[in-house]
Structure 1
Amino acid sequence: MAVHTSRRLIGAAALAVTMLAAGCGYGPGSASEAPDPGTAVLDREADLIAATTAVPTGFDPHRERTSGERVYYYPVFDRLTRAETGGDIVPMLADSWETAPDAMSMRMSLRKGVEFHDGSPFDASALVASITRAQQLPDSVVAPFLTTLERIEIVGDHEVVLHYSAPTPDMPTVLAGPAGAMISPAALADPTRDLRVDPGTAGTGPYLVDKFVPSQSVRYVRAAEENWDPDAGQLARLEIRFIADDRTRDSAIRAGEIDVSYVNSVVAQSVRQAQLAAQGSTLRLVDVPTSQLAALWIQSDRLPDHRVREALVRGIDRDAIADGYYQGGCVPSAQLPREGFPGYVDDFVDPYPYDPAKARELAAEAGWTRFEISYTAGREALPVIVADNLAEIGVETVLRPGTSIEALTAFRTAQSDSFMYSMASEGTLADTVKWTTADSRLSYDDPELAALVEQASRAVDPEDRERINAQLVTAVAEAAIFVPICHYNTYFLVASDVVGFDEALNGESQFMMDLRYVGRVGEAEPS
């Protein structure tokens, strides 16, 4: 049996200690069961099956339908940079970078000796091919984040200079997401290739897709050649399954049918059951703060009267929801960013605190008496609580359950007043707001808000950026285009012999994970 001890996993141990000190860490009774990543001997022939609620719908980073696709294409496509928990940006395929003092350009050095799995070299020309596609593909979802990238100058086989039309200090953060995914030039030049259904050998990641069943599962095998990152690809075989039902996932991991299971923190009972499962068992509960905000999306086209939207925000008791329903597993917040994540404003003043009397007054003044909430069937607890809150201010609420796609479609096509969902960060605060107000999300067009987003994106001086970010957070809250409730933690139940899972989570959203560094403990070979 081949074994390997990972240097990178030592960092994961330090991260776990930090999380425990911060009150996050592992669940009750499970911290002592976690293998020591610094000394663990890994079984390089091991399999692992993970279950999540992210739906496998494709692998093309530049054309992703939802951010949930990243769970499935991250093992295949590496990015230029990578975001760690809390938002720190670290090297990936880019070795280093330096932004000019005026943020009008950035020099980037690329990792040498890296090849795509089809044999094409990863070099400056490959970078240009991938980013050019990201900018010019007709249905690219990442082009809006590259609008200031004017040209890329190749100054060496593994060195480029990115030139901008306006100050762009956050490009390293942008390149940690799908915009920075590197795809083989040979694959891009092949008109018969559809990366959405078959990435093939077009990546540099540690795994190759072996079998893809759309909307069900993806099975991977470790690439035959040694990966450029010796700590990645610790498993011989990896499978990620979409299992929507919380009880099915819970039963599967308790029975040993899967090794990693997402715990739905949207449902408080699921978290409580997971905490119990981790007590005195072979499972441990990993608990990490995320920047994902439970929120009620508001369809401003159907509710253009600001008094109505303000009444909505004032009429919902987020503290009672966080403490009562979530029992402390979700941190109440009136602002989009979470404390400890980029953009959080320490001295933020809530423009519309919970005030049912004022909400009733505003609703009566606007003649608002009826409201609709679309939501995913089976997750009615939060919509029902909100409906009860709104009944207290004289508003009758109609609940419209459906599949996640049906509920979202009803919102996007203005067939419903709102959608009970959440909001996740997209790198910087400015990018998050840009993404949140986009046509594919809230479809909210406000020139003043757009101008603030532009200023925040271009601010080079840290003090200026902090000041503009504070203005942006306040402006978003005052617009009342969604009802902020609370920031989730993310929870996963993990088999006790799984190591490196902490580093798979960066707090981007509840279900987001990158399993490249995950392994399983094996037995040391006899000396």
Structure 2
Amino acid sequence: MGRIALRPAAAALACSLLAAPALAQTTLRIGIGADPNVLDPAQSGSFVERVVFSALCDKLVDVAPDLSFRPELATRWEWAEDGRALTLTLREGARFQDGAPVDAAAVKANLDRYRTARESRRRTELRPVSEVQVLDARTVRLVLSEPFAPLLSVLADRAGMMLSPAVLPMAERVGENPVCSGPFRLTRRVAQDRIEMERHAGHWNAANIHFDRLLFLPIPDNNVRMLNLRGGQLDLIERVAPTDIPAVERDRRLRLVSGPSIAYQTMSINVGHGPLAQRPLGSDPRVRQALELSIDRAIINQVALEGRFTPNNQPEAPGTPYHFADLAPPARNPARARALLREAGHDRVAFTLKVPNQPVEAQVAQIIQSMAAEGGFDIRLEVLESSAMVAATQRGDYEAAIAIWSGRPDPDGNIAFWLASDGFLNWGRYADPRLDELFRQARAITATAERQRLYREAAQLWLADRPHLMLYHHRWFWAMRGDLQGFEPAPDGIIRLAGLRIGR
């Protein structure tokens, strides 16, 4: 086999691990697709951070493979009859990594920070929570200003991750020392190189954690991640590129695990955030319509994704309750696209498309660039690391950007955060009062048929205005050494560490 392409510091660490058999047997090494921007659930905004948080920070509620909710730090929950309160019973004996108890006072402190702190990106998600009450040491009640059906889904993500109250006064600097309640605690981080953790012996589920140490290596290049796995420097990699799947299947030393995904890829367009929104793409829906008519999602799937994913123009996967098959994307029509640009007063339109520094997304962007050229667009591609991408979009320094959303069990968590006027990832500051009202109504009810009606009307609005162009739904692929046992695929793409062990 050829030489393994690790970065120098990562290569040195990998060699030291391989040179020490006892250490190698007790260390799980995971290759991830990007370097996390910030290890603070309040400030987090990227998928790869959720992968790391799965080791570091327990949540109040977890999501099962069938997308139902299952206990984590909360073992029981009960809704008030009017839907305006949720009472949680906490797990007995759970402790933070500094030894402090995970009690109702700690949960209140965390939720109050997420609801109110200046640095928190969870404020919108928890806006309906008007008060957090401590009923006793193990019981906490979330009082709502209005019924809020997505709340359990919210608590199954970063807004439900609990940190030790001792670190909360650090505010914006919490990410430097995120003391949580997960199965592993952070011991060292080298930006762009590695994240080192060790087993939290006091974890409530420690008996099901079979590694003493955990190492995350951020390796954006899919091919390099695969080479490191095949060379023995990694035990597990996430987001295997479709082009690498045949190589995994042929290698008897490796095992491929796949599963359905609620994640999707989208193109966010800046329609209202700063000067770049005033350019043709952001300011005129006819130009955005022309862009969509220039591309063919099925071609993207076949050429860049080996036909493994699902072309889609909506945030819900085809066949699920909140996907609307009759609102399918238009057929590719470059001639009509050019005509629309002329109607809008343009011969050709140029814009910059920001792309994550990952080969699959880069190839997707190149295909879009090529197809759109026939429709009258001159697209410049700008490849950025994950943290730089997040920073640029947050400050409105973009015209269009390709992004992944890992998906949520509740439909509100798959669309409103992008398009509600107060959505925490509404980078382009899209605003439609009618859309905001539809989202509000849908959050207040649980009946599927009525929610379908509301989300359908919402989809008709934003699909016509196109502040986002959804491109495709993922299918998750993980590759691992053949003797790594206990891996359970999850539709949210998150790696659960409980039960993982080396041995046949």
Q: Deviations over 1:311-359 (max 9, x none)?
A: 1112211112212332211111121211366x63254422644333432
SS of residue in 2 equivalent to 1:241: strand
Shift of 1:481: 1.3
Q: Distance in 2 between matches of 1:415 and 1:136?
A: 26
Following the alignment from structure 2 to structure 1, what is the Cα–Cα distance between the partners of residues 103 and 385? Answer: 43
* Residue equivalent to 1:21: none
**3-state SS of 2:455 partner:** helix
Deviation at 1:277, TM superposition (A): 2.8
Residue number among 67, 74, 82 corresponding to 1:94 in the alignment = 74
User: How many angstroms apart in 2 are the aligned matches of 1:261 and 1:179?
Assistant: 26
Q: Does 1:262 align with 2:233?
A: no
Which of 223, 229, 234 is the equivalent residue of 2:210? 234
Q: State the 1:65 CA deviation.
A: 4.6
Number of the residue aligned with 2:254: 283
Matched position secondary structure for 2:185: strand
Q: Deviations over 1:185-228 (max 9, x none)?
A: 2333x5599431122xx322211222221232111111233x31
Does residue 1:444 correspond to 2:415, yes or no? Answer: no
CA distance in 1 between partners of 2:398 and 2:116 (Å): 34
Residues 443 and 412 from structure 1, CA distance in 2 versus in 1: closer, same or farther, beyond 3 angstroms? same
Query: Which range is displaced more, 329-338 or 45-54?
Result: 45-54
Aligned counterpart, 1:359: 337
Q: CA deviation at 1:146?
A: 0.8
Cα drift, residue 403 of structure 1: 4.2
- Worse-superposed segment, 114-123 or 233-242: 114-123
1:121 alignment partner in structure 2: 101
SS at match of 2:149: coil
Q: Does 2:161 align with 1:176?
A: no
Q: Comparing both chains, which one has the higher relative contact order based on Cα–Cα distances under 8 Å and sequence gaps of 6 or more?
A: 1
Question: Hey, what's the Cα distance between the residues in 1 that align with 2:153 and 2:306?
Answer: 34
Q: 1-side partners of 2:101 and 2:91: how far apart?
A: 11
2:366 maps to 384
Report the 3-state secondary structure (helix = DSSP H, G, I; strand = E; otherwise coil) of the residue aligned with 1:144. Answer: coil
Structure 2 unaligned runs (5+)?
1-22, 272-276
Identify if the C-alpha distance between structure 1 residues 72 and 325 changes in structure 2 by more than 3 Å, giving closer, same or farther. closer
1:158 is matched with 138
Structure 2 CA distance for aligned equivalents of residues 371 and 337 of structure 1: 30
3-state SS, counterpart of residue 161 of structure 1 = strand
Query: Tell me, what secondary structure is at the counterpart of 1:362?
Result: helix
Query: Within the alignment, does 1:243 sit opposite 2:227 as a pair?
Result: no
Deviation at 1:147, TM superposition (A): 0.7
Q: CA deviation at 1:413?
A: 5.1
Do structure 1's residue 318 and structure 2's residue 297 form an aligned pair? Answer: yes
**What's the counterpart of residue 466 of structure 1?**
452
Which amino acid is 1:356 matched to? Answer: P
2:124 to 117, 121, 144: 144
- SS of structure 1 residue aligned to 2:55: coil
Tell me the secondary structure at the aligned position of residue 87 of structure 1: coil
Number of aligned pairs? 466
- Cα shift readout 1:139-160 (whole Å, capped 9, x = no counterpart): 1011111111111233332122
CA contact (8 A) 1:390 1:396 kept: yes
Equivalent runs, 1:483-522 vs 2, <5 Å: 483-502=469-488, 505-509=489-493, 512-521=494-503
Q: Tell me the equivalent position of 2:264.
A: 293
Question: Alpha-carbon deviations, 1:61-119, whole Å to 9, x = none?
Answer: 11225342222232122111011235321111111112123311112211112222323
Determine the structure 2 residue equivalent to 1:24.
none
Q: Supply the distance in 2 between the matched residues of 1:360 and 1:495 (Cα, whole angstroms).
A: 50
Q: TM-score, normalised by structure 2?
A: 0.85
Q: Give unmatched runs, 5+ long, in structure 1.
A: 1-42, 266-270, 523-527
In the superposition, the TM-score normalised over structure 1's length comes to 0.81
**Matched ranges for 1:407-486 at <5 A:** 416-437=398-419, 438=423, 440=425, 441-486=427-472
> 1:432 corresponds to which letter in structure 2?
N
Tell whether 2:191 aligns with 1:207.
no
CA-based RMSD: 2.7
Q: 1:234 to 1:396 in 2, by over 3 A?
A: same
